[in-house]
Amino acid sequence: MRQGALHDAAALADAVLAEATDDASTLYMRGVIASRLGDYPKAISAFRRASALRPEDALAVLGLGNACARAGDLDAAADAYHAVIQRRPEWDDAHFNLGIVRKRQGRRAEAARSLRAAWRRNPMFFDAAKECVATVAECVRRGEVVEPGRPATIDRCTMSFTIVVCSINDAKHRRVASLYARLFAGVRHELVVLRNARSLASAYNEAVAYSTADVVLLSHDDIDILADDFAPRLASALGRFDAVGVVGSTVLAGPAVGWAGHPNLRGWITHRDMTNASWRVDLLDPRGTASDIVVLDGVLIAARREVLRAVPFDAATFDGFHLYDLDWSYRASKAGYRLGVVGELMLVHESRGRYEHAWERYADRFCLKHAIYRGASPPSSFFGATFETAEEARRFFQLLICLDE
C-alpha cells in the first residue's frame, strides 16, 4: 500500500480475510485500501465490520465516517464522527470532519461549533481556524442564529475606574470621550485625557499615581468598542486576572506580540479600514478569554491600580510611544501577576501599527533590556473576515461567543 500498489495490497488483505474473516486489523486495512481506490461501498463494509468487532477502536469509526462522507452519505458520516468524538473527544480531526459534513448539509451553526472545537483542541490546525471563521461569517451574512453553548455570567459592574487616554487630536478626543461616557454610564469612573504627554510610560505613571479607583484603564484614542456591556465584561475579567488586554501571547519572543507565533498567540480584535469603511474581524485564537499571558499589546490595558503601582512603566528606557506596553506586561507577569487576554471585549482599532524608524529604535532598546535575539518579523498570524457594517462585526463576535463549550 505504501508503495502505491493498491490492487496488490487489496489482494493480500483479501487472502488474509479468506482464512481469518474476523481479523479486525486486516478489515481496517482493507477499508483504508478500498478508500484509496475510491471503492467506498467496499470501504464502508470493511470499516463497519472492523468497528463491530472492536467497538473501542475509534480509528475504524473515523475511517467509516470518511468513507461515508466521500460516498455522499452525509448523515451516516455525521453519525460516525459523533461516535468517534464520544470515544476520543480530543481528536481534532473528528471535530473538523464533522464540521465540514455539517457545512455540506447546510447546518452552518453546528458546523461552526465543531470547527471551533477542532481549532481549540489544536491551535496549529489552521484549516480548522480558517473554516471556523468563514463559517461564522457566513452565519452572520445569512442572519442565522447560534444557540449559546454556555449561559452568560456577566454581573453588574461594581468596580470604580480611572480611564486614561493620551490624545493630541481633537476629533479623536471627542469621540473616545463620548464612547467611554456611554459605556461607563452608571459606573463610578473618571476620564483623564492627557493632551501633551512626553511619553506614554510617563503619562501612565502620573495617571496611576493620581488615581484612587479600583482599576486603571489605559486606552489608545483611535478605538471603538462593539460590546455594549463592556464595563461589566471588563469587571468580570478583572475578577479573574490582575491585568487584561485584548491581544497578547504566552511567551516573549520579540519586540511585538506577533513575534511569538502560533500556538502562543491569543486575542480577538477588529481593524477598521477608514478608506473604505470596512470592518475586519481578526482572530489569533478561538478562545474569547485566555490565561497564562506573558505580554499584552497596549491598544488597551486594564489593571488593578495596585498592580500598576507595584510595577510602574519604565519611563527612562521607553521615553517615547513604543514598546512601553510589552515591557510593562512582561515585567508584571514575571512579578507573578495574572495576565489575561479578553477578546470578548470586542475592541476596534483604526490602526494596525506602524513599524517605522522610531519604533525600530525602541525595539532595539527592548531587545537589549530583555536579552532577546531579534530575528526577522513573522508573517501575519490573524484569521479574519471582512464586513460592511459595525453591526455585522458585533454579530460575528456574539455568535463566536455562543459557540463556547
Q: At 387, list the grid cell.
A: 464586513
Q: What is the pLDDT of residue 86?
A: 96
Residue pair 362/313 in contact by the 8 Å Cβ criterion: no
What pLDDT shows up at residue 155?
61
Residue 88: pLDDT above 90? yes
Residue 275: band (very low, low, confident or very high) from pLDDT cuts 50, 70, 90: confident
Confidence band of 76 (pLDDT split at 50, 70, 90):
very high
* pLDDT tens figures, 218-272: 999 999 999 999 999 999 999 999 999 999 999 999 999 999 999 999 999 999 9
Is residue 349 a contact partner of residue 240, using CB atoms and an 8 Å limit? no
Report d(CA 60, CA 50) in Å as an integer. Answer: 6
Q: What is the pLDDT of residue 225?
A: 97
6-142: CATH number = 1.25.40.10
Residue 394 pLDDT greater than 60, yes or no: yes
Distances (CA, A) of 1 to 33, 58, 70: 7, 22, 20
Amino acid at 127: D
Residue 400 has a CB neighbour count (10 Å cut-off) of 26
Q: Residue 378, preceding bond cis, omega within 30 degrees? A: no
pLDDT beyond 90 at 354:
no
Asked if residues 267 and 247 have their Cβ atoms less than 8 Å apart, the reply is: yes
- Record the pTM: 0.91
Q: Crossing angle of helices 200-210/324-334, nearest 10°?
A: 50
Fold type of domain 223-374: Spore Coat Polysaccharide Biosynthesis Protein SpsA; Chain A (3.90.550)
Domain ranges of the chain: 6-142, 223-374
Which pLDDT does position 391 carry in this prediction? 95
Give the per-residue pLDDT at 310: 98
List C-alpha distances in Å: 166 to 34, 173, 218, 223: 66, 8, 9, 12
| Alpha carbon distance 287, 284 (integer Å) | 9
Report residue 293: phi and psi, to 5°: -85, 140
Give the C-alpha distances (Å, rounded to integers) separating 284 from 130, 247, 307, 343.
Answer: 11, 8, 26, 10
Q: State how beta strands 339-342 and 247-249 pair.
A: unpaired
